[in-house]
A and B are shown apart, each in its own frame.
Chain A
Amino acid sequence: MYLKTMATLAVLASAGFASAESISPQQVSFTDGAVPQSLTGEPGNPAEGREVFANRKLGNCLACHANEDLAEQAFHGQIGPMLDGVGDRWSEAELRAIVVNAKEVFEGTIMPAFYNARTINRPLKGFEDKTILSAQQVEDLVAYLMLLKE
């Protein structure tokens, strides 16, 4: 009985405080254009990642990138490279680095940083010091990108 209660509490604690265990934007470390360490310590959910990719309020990756896997979405952007086969071209650690802060990988790129620590130049009210995506959303996205193979 005692053990069982303890176990339940532990589960609750890890669910409730999952974000506290995530790596903060300040703690992310890049090695040779890669971020090997998961931001959450948990595997990402590719189905959620697909949603983050398409959703205009989340990643809105389709604004700039075409992606055959999301052919059901009417409009795909042309600003960045098309992402078909991106899971073959890059490792998981590299894709995490690109999403966290693409400027660490492509110098001066126009691709926004989705999980980096920085002072935002004139943030819109309500977006001060906020990352575009959460640690979990980044991991979900990376898990999804890894499935984009030719």
Chain B
Amino acid sequence: MKRIVLKGAALAALLATGALAEEPKLIINGEIELPTRVPAPSHMDAIDEITSGWVYRTKETQALQMDDFDNPGMIFVDVGQELFETAEGDAGKACADCHESAEEFAGLKASMPRVNEEGELESMPDVINECRTERMQADAWKWSGPEMSAMTALISLQSRGMPVDVAIDGAAAPFWEQGKEIYYTRYGQLDLACSNCHENNYDMMIRADHLSQGQTNGFPNYRLKNAKINTVHGRFKGCMKNIRAQPFAEGGDEFKALELYVASRGNGLPVESPSVRN
């Protein structure tokens, strides 16, 4: 009895200090509130609720994403804006010569990757490089290079707050199946699948790391660890190397299929790009 009373008192004290207060809310610039938990899309059976990776980060890292002046990813958005206006290539054109402004691309990030008219699965760097090589007659940018990362940060920001909504049926179905297969396959010397960490063990600590669901709605993201913008394929590569598996190629078919599948696990979460991670 005595013990129960004590426990009750301790609980009351905790409540009074706010230690058990509600989960923090993601509100950007004090005005844009982005939901961090939404019901899982119907194609997922193992998980009922999908959560933003922001939820699992420390208070300090969370705070950086809540103010565009503090978010170091915004510096790269500015770099992207400069590139947008810079003429390059034999056609002597800049993005801005054909597109009035980057705002034109609101919604694009939320629907990528997607199947194009040729029946190929394309991700955002593919469409950017198509403009560069065909319409600007400039060199393609490297998939995860600094220019491409900055440009995808700028374009993805235009979809901030819009729910992720990638198509998984019709022409997308075979790519989605391929991505799903990869997601559940164990790779590497540690013999682990993406699902082992991000579906079976999210919200657990794996040594110093708090495991998230491995969502991609905040990509490209700024990482404190390397102080730059990081792409989805770069992250996949990092996770594969951590389990001592030979990564698939960035920009290759496997990672694009995986990107589609992982994005579809986030259907309904708002785009957060550029998010901040440790």
Contact = CB atoms under 8 A, between A and B. Distances in A.
A123 interface: yes
Interface string B176-194: 0000000001111111100
Interface stretch (A6-14, A27-35, A41-49, A76-84): A76-84
Contacts of A120: 188-189, 191
Interface in B66-115: none
B205 interface: yes
Contacts of B28: none
B188 A122 contact: yes
A112 B188 CA distance: 10
Interface stretch (B4-12, B49-57, B120-128, B239-247): B239-247
Given A110-B192, A112-B190, A113-B191, A124 B241 contact: yes
A139 to B, nearest CB: 20
A130 B206 CA distance: 24
B207 interface: yes
A63 B207 contact: yes
A106 interface: no
B206 A79 contact: yes
Contacts of B189: 112, 120, 123-124, 127, 130, 132
Interface string A45-80: 000000000001000101110000000001111110
Which applies to chain B's interface (DSSP): helix, strand, loop or mixed?
loop
Nearest to B211: A79
A79 B186 CA distance: 17
Given A110-B196, A122-B245, A125-B246, A77 B207 contact: yes
A77 B206 contact: yes
Contact of B187 (A63, A110, A121): A121
A122 B249 CA distance: 13
Given A110-B200, A120-B189, A77 B245 contact: no
Give the interface size bracket for B toward A.
Answer: 20 to 34
Contacts of B246: 122-125
A125 to B, nearest CB: 6
Contacts of B185: 121
B213 to A, nearest CB: 15
Contacts of A125: 246
B32 interface: no
A127 B244 contact: yes
Contacts of A77: 204-207
Contact of A79 (B191, B204, B241): B204
B58 interface: no
Interface in B198-229: 200-201, 204-208
Interface in A98-130: 110, 112-113, 120-125, 127, 130
Given A124-B188, A124-B189, A127-B189, A63 B206 contact: yes
A64 B245 contact: no
A110 B206 CA distance: 13
Nearest to B203: A78
- Of all A-B residue pairs in the complex, the 4 with the closest CB atoms, nearest first, are A75-B208, A78-B204, A124-B244, A63-B207
Interface of B: 185-192, 196, 200-201, 204-208, 240-241, 244-246
11 contacts: A63-B207, A64-B206, A74-B208, A79-B201, A79-B206, A113-B191, A121-B185, A122-B187, A122-B188, A124-B240, A124-B245
